[in-house]
Amino acid sequence: MTSTANAAATGGTAPAAIRSVTVIGLGIMGLPMARNLVAAGFDVVGFNRSPDKVDRLVEAGGRGASSVAESVRDADVVITMVPDSPDVEGVVTGEDGVFARAKQGTIWIDASSIRPDVAARLAEEAARAGLRPLDAPVSGGEQGAIDAALSIMVGGEAADFEAARPVLEAVGRTIVHVGPAGSGQTVKAANQLVVAGNIQLLAEAVVFLEAYGVDTSAALTVLGGGLAGSKVLDQKGRKMLERNFEPGFRLQLHHKDMGIVTAAAREAGVTVPLGALVAQLVAATVARGDGGLDHSGLFKLTEELSGRSGR
């Protein structure tokens, strides 16, 4: 089914100003985001290094491309959702990259989580190439991407943000312009700092509760109804109780993000003592071979350090 036919079937209608959206990077987050854009009525083209992900987008009503250059040729908006700063640079720069191959006036939205200084530098390069750059990292994990309920923090020109709003609203629920280029990545770094700290403390709380033989499921229910309640508790508590660390957001990516946090804090002269400790715990968990687990897998190291592993 073409994306136009899919829009008719679902009732979605893309705004007239933006028709074609390219998504580069169809991983855990990028693929469900692309599917939601199809459902919203956009003509969605996807590119991914693994062709099977492209096939899954095509099955959902999108179209596939065999290269970055092909994927962006007719795009009104290009979204990049790749793992790290070098990956973003790899797809946007060079003679076959987004900057060289996208048409003038294309809005480029980088939804990846990368270094704020890299985001600002690439925004300058994009603008020189005639593109309209926005750094728009997301929070909410795989489920948020599936439900089109992501929180999106956006850096860039206010006019470009408003122009891109229909696209962002197709994949997110809380969408906020937070400042000039690089600001979205700065806010995302703060987000990852808070999330990592919450996961670590939740892991310690679960180990503590189990040590006393408490009904942990009941305990997390009542904790979730009070001041200790959080989305981290809601989404990660059950995974810890069940020792189910199927990835929604991999530890190796959170390790990368905590590196961004600590480097940016050092550059700004800001002290983040608890953040630095959690960053070390994340690094230790990845170093022992658990980087492919969900970031709730921090629980494994916490349990081991408490001498309670193997339960």
Catalytic residues: 188
Cα atoms in the 13 Å half-sphere on the side-chain side of 111? 32
CA 223, 226, 231, 234 torsion-angle sign? positive
For strands 138-139 and 107-110, give the pairing. unpaired
Rounded alpha-carbon distances, angstroms, from residue 182 to 47, 178, 207: 25, 9, 38
Q: Does residue 167 contact residue 42 with C-beta atoms inside 8 Å? A: yes
- Beta-bridged to residue 80, according to DSSP, are 24, 110
Where helices occur in 115-244 by DSSP H, the ranges are: 116-128, 141-146, 158-169, 183-211, 216-224, 231-242
